Structure 1
Amino acid sequence: MQFSTYMNEWLYGKEGYYKKFKAIGKGGDFYTAVSTSRFFGASIANYYYGRLKEAKAHRDGWLIEIGAHQGYLLCDMIQWLYTCDPTLVETLHFGIVERQPEVRKAQLAYIKERFGDDITITHFDDISDVNVEYAFVVANEIFDAFPCELLKDNQIATVKEHTIAWEEAPDSILEWAKKHYLTQGEVAVGYEDFAKIMAKGIKKCDFVTFDYGEKYVRNDFSIRVYRAHETFPLFDEALVLSESYQKDDITYDVNFGHVSEAFKTAGFEEEAYETQARALVRFGLIDILEQFARQTSQENYVREADKIKTLISPTMMGDRFKMIHFRK
């Protein structure tokens, strides 16, 4: 089978890695910005609130998260919106795109723990099920979880019995690679369809997403496996695919140029592309931290400030992660 099929089964198959609820953070395989600090979500919500005040977003529209894990990000955003304007939680609609029943159950339990019965969440099996007039859609680290093909010397990777081999690449892959000056690396599968489906179902849309990667072709393999905060390059001799398959996370750096091309072709405009550090500061992260400082103890402030350093430090998440905002 082609590598993209193998990766899709690894992550989303019957016993796939994401089939069941996975711990993120110290007890999981990796950290995310969401698990690092609740002010990550508060900053995005603050940006969204600014657009609401400027009438660039609809007060009776939808706030939808894709790939919400337990629901921390959406809840942190709702909490901040309530702080800014309590009436918003009465006019806005909240949704999560999630098809796994076990993950949905964990999300609803956490949301109830945070808000009781005051917040109603609508679950969508797929982005194709979203059909609304306006939505502010947010996602953290979803494009790195799309299946990909591996290209090298005009050949693509295939997998049989958890062993990688190479065969001649189809013309469609070679044409894409030539157009984008790619000679070796990952070619994501599904960005174009995802963008088209979102454009079709949401009449007016803001889509804000964060991920790790760059807006250019690396011409190298970044694909790797995460296991208990250890990283194993896919072609590392220490990695045994049959042992990691569906048990560990598999991911690769996002080519944001490819993402941008897919969404522009689908009718979106690129509103902004910048490092996570620049985006969060522009969204109001520092102001939010200062407000927090006036309401809490020095000890709590220092603890939260340390978490925020992880989000915006150039040597940690700040420069490696990027934010891209599309508008339609």
Structure 2
Amino acid sequence: MNPIPIIHFGLGPIGQEIGRAAANEPRVTSVGAVDIAPELQEFTLNQVCDADLPALPIVPSLAQVQAPAGAVVLQATVSKLEQARNQLMAAIARGYHVVSTCEELVWPWEDHPQLARELDEAARKAGVTLLGVGVNPGMVMDTLPALVSRLVNAIERVHVARFVDVLERRVPLQEKNGLGKDPAWVQAQLDQGAMGHVGLKDSVWMLAAGLGWELDAVAVESRALVAQEGFESGLGWVAAGQCKGVRQEAQGLIAGDPRITMELVMEAGVAGGTRDELFITGDQTLHMRLTGIHGDKATAAIVINQALRIPAMPPGLQTMLTAPLAPKSQYET
């Protein structure tokens, strides 16, 4: 099997991590690199990623990349689907598949139905596939619970919890979760939708689809967490009384009953440490605890792994629920 040609689109911290993951995967080969940041365009792909990659120039536009139709764009640029649209349409127009870290692309059918249809129709017409991926949304709070749920009949409830000690993560994530800010200001930002995790509600809708449930609504509550004592962070000293993170909860409701509950805690020094937990209640009660996931490395891994699988997927806007478990070469002759 010839290596799959890939194009790196977005070379911020996640994009660089994807580059390093690509360097360790012989089944892909880098053929292009795109980023709009002028300071990155002064370097080559291997220099920016500090990895054994080709010395490709970093260009500001996908139109400047010379790659064959059927190449896979690894998009790591924005979280909002509206902002990602033009980049996705440019890739489709050139006959490229796309594996994207855009959180709102993981399950866009509820909040962005018109845009989802537009992208789906364009991709089908071009014969290419679009796939939104990630740790969360995209795997631990939706795809994985949907898969594990096949072990249980007569499911009554599903509870998914993700706890992340943001002191173990990069500074931008600490900033995104309000460390060191006035909790009242953070709460106002959360209430306005200007802060907080993107995609939690989408994970609820996605898991419901995997369970075959039709939800009436998804309710989300977000709360700023207040430090009881001071501590050092990547952003400097956080004093008692300042924000130390964010807790969000989303409920998938059927006839007013929260059949799906998702809890996401992004907190400095979170009690019990970084972990993921899953509870499924039905004819059995399952409890799964998963530790050791590093968000950035796991995101890069899933992007590369799905780049290997996207040629096996039908054209159009697909999701991780429709993604094959095996790469194409392992089951096609």
Q: TM-score range by the shorter chain?
A: 0.3 to 0.5
* TM-score, normalization by structure 2: 0.34
More helix by share: 1
